[in-house]
Chains A and B, each alone.
Chain A
Amino acid sequence: MNTRNLWLTTAAALAVFVALDLVVRYARFPGYGALIGFGGCVVIVVVSKWIGKVLLERSEGYYEHDVAPDVQEDLRGE
């Protein structure tokens, strides 16, 4: 699915769920779940990526003794 179709699906889903919220009357406000789900996801990704970039990420050899070799090791026991 390309990005345009994804946005269209998102808009359609929003309309459906807001309508359902208006019928069921459980949510704090119509579309609350959409806000938490979509907004939460975007905030988590953006904030984490930003913290990672400025503070946390290092190259794989940072702890020099602890570089796992990328070979397909055989883990089967006896």
Chain B
Amino acid sequence: MVSDLTLLLHPALPLLLAAVAVRFVPRVVGHVLMVAAPLAALAAVFALDLGTSVEVGWFDWQLEVLRVDGLARPFGIIFAIAGVIAGTYGIRTMGRNERASALAYAGAALGVVFAGDLITFFVFWEVKAVASTLLVLARRTPLSGRAGMRYLYMHVLGGKLLLAGIVWHYTATGSMAFTGFEVSTGGVLILLACLISAAVPPLHAWLPDAYPEATVAGTVFLSAYTTKAAVYALARGFAGWEVLVYLGIAMALYGVVYAVLENDIRRLLGYHIISQVGYMVAGVGIGTQLAINGATAHAFAHILYKGLLLMGAGAVIYATGRSKMSALGGIANRMRTVLVLYLIGAASISSVPFFSGFVAKELVVEGAYVDERIWLVILLQIASVGTFLHTGLKLPYGAWFGHDGLGPRTNDEGHRIHVGAVPRTMIVAMGLSAALNFGIGIAPNLLYDLLPYPVDYSAYSVGKVLEKTQILVFTALAFFLLLDQLHAKAMVTVDTDWLYRRLPRTVATLARRGRTDRDPVESPAAPDPAPRGRLVAARTAVLARVASRDPDGPPPVAATWTLGSVLLGAAVVILLVSLVWP
């Protein structure tokens, strides 16, 4: 049984407790919990010394449920900070259930990062997948319901691959420790699970599918944890696997290509998450100390500025109810604060000197350069051009300006888009994030001191700043020269989710070819004799009830309330029995 009191300092604990509590306490106390719980987690991460390790006996295994080392700590710190920021942002918009899911999700992500063995890792990984699905469903629209279920299916697939890999790895090696893996069947299965979660093409389609359908605050939470926890797992288990370099650069460019075509503002940012995570995956693939430092630093900064960008996009959606650039524009004058804060995020992600991207992203590029991979450096720089092009130029232009320019100055008179007020808590959260981005940009050592390995890199030299400025200036010039081609079109793009969204129906249509769709000629069938007749009648009644559910209600899988409670109860009983097992 648990005897080590250090376990009470586990950073996941305050968040998981708050996730349960927020369901029952009054709404005002919930406001406080949404900010206080991540703050407590942050304090806990700082209170734990490097090298802390707590083991708990469970059946035949010694589980290392808490392990604090150089790699886990920076991820833990930024996950807690992201919780504070996203929690503040969501104070006015999040309902009880959504808050519980968000806190459980953040807690599970911290659990993943501080897990020292594969069983703990797997349990938190799965809690994270379920909680994040609930966060997508929390928008409670038919679109978010379907996107959320598709999201769940992909993550269930990833979870099963992870479990299979862990079992295979354990059978082969007899070790449950979560350290670097050898090239083996078990290792490859675990790698596949991590690749799904890191949204590596062609396993990425869940991300741009589901993230834009979540609530405005839900997306900010989602963008922080799932992909970055996967990057952590890759850095822990697969550092130096050459294949990750190629996957990483393919990701970085893939996201850029799709972002050119995208119309929905949060989906565009979603494709840029893929592009940015590509840098981290490539850094992990290079595997040198410098590159791992770069991947970690980039994950840290990325969570800050991507959160800021999604908060800006969310504020636009909150104020106007619209998310497509083709339906926006002409609102800059009425959302000046949000626009300025968004642009700070855009400057950071585009690695403008003196913002966080410049000191973090360039560390990955430096890692590639020192490792003598010149083609990788050039391709990463081109991907970075695409980042500035879309998040720094195309999105703000399309969302805030467009054909209508700055728009009316004060009120909505005579303009096609009504702009509501943005709550002060949202502005505060964005301001906090912007301040951190700027702070890291001008004092890079704040970030470098947290990294897993000692950093011997100076971010600022005249040459580096000049080269980056030159790239950015010429990207902007090319953007304005190409502006006519870059107006967002009201289109959707097909991605690999076509394989499970459209292909099945296409196949079914082919199989039905030659048959008629006419209704069969009515002829009342004779009722079956009892008892079979009763069964048929009962089945018809159940099917009619399922079919007649409210179209805006939850999808049928979530509606099987009784079955779910029984399964959950059984799981809790089994867990309790296993804990008191001699």
Question: How far is A1 from B92 in the complex, measured between Cα atoms in Å?
Answer: 42
CA distance in complex: A49, B551 (Å):
37
Chain B residues 473-496 with CB under 8 Å of chain A are: 473-475, 477-482, 485-486, 489-495
A76 to B491, Cβ gap below 8 A?
no
CB-based contact A72/B322 at 8 Å: yes
A1 to B468 alpha-carbon distance, docked (Å) = 25
Chief secondary structure at chain A's binding surface? helix
Chain B binding site: helix, strand, loop or mixed by DSSP?
helix
Q: Which residues of A contact B386 (CB under 8 A)?
A: 40-41, 44
A21-B466, A26-B467, A44-B389 are known contacts. Are A65 and B477 too (CB-CB below 8 A)? no
Assess whether B415 is interfacial by the CB under 8 Å rule.
Answer: no
Chain B 417-436 near chain A by CB (<8 Å), digits 1 or 0: 11010000000000000000
CA distance A34 to B382 in the complex (A): 12
Interface size on B, residues (CB 8 A): 64
Q: B318 at the A/B interface (Cβ < 8 Å)?
A: yes
Query: Chain A: interface residue count, which band?
Result: 35 or more
- List, in ascending order, chain B residues with CB within 8 A of A56's CB: 258, 261, 493-495
In the complex, the number of residue pairs spanning A and B with C-beta atoms less than 8 Å apart equals 170
Q: Which residues on B sit within 8 Å (CB–CB) of A60? A: 490-492
A52 touches B318 (CB 8 A): no
Q: Is the CB of B463 within 8 A of A36?
A: no
Contact indicator B473/A45 (Cβ below 8 Å) = no
Q: Whole-angstrom distance from the CB of B419 to the nearest CB of chain A?
A: 10
Contacts of B323 in A (CB 8 A): 68
Query: CB within 8 A of B261: which of A14, A37, A48?
Result: A48
Q: Which residue of A lies closest to B502 (CB)?
A: A63
Measured between beta carbons, the chain A residues less than 8 angstroms from B461 are 26
Contact of B321 among A42, A74, A77 (CB under 8 A): A74
Q: Given the complex, which residues of A lie within 8 Å of B490, measured CB to CB?
A: 60
| A-B contact sample (7 more), CB < 8 A, given A65-B146, A66-B147 | A37-B474, A40-B381, A40-B385, A41-B479, A60-B491, A62-B492, A75-B93
By a beta-carbon cutoff of 8 Å, the part of chain B in contact with chain A is 27, 92-95, 142-143, 146-147, 215-216, 256-258, 260-261, 317-318, 320-324, 327, 378, 381-382, 385-386, 389, 417-418, 420, 461-464, 466-475, 477-482, 485-486, 489-495, 501-502
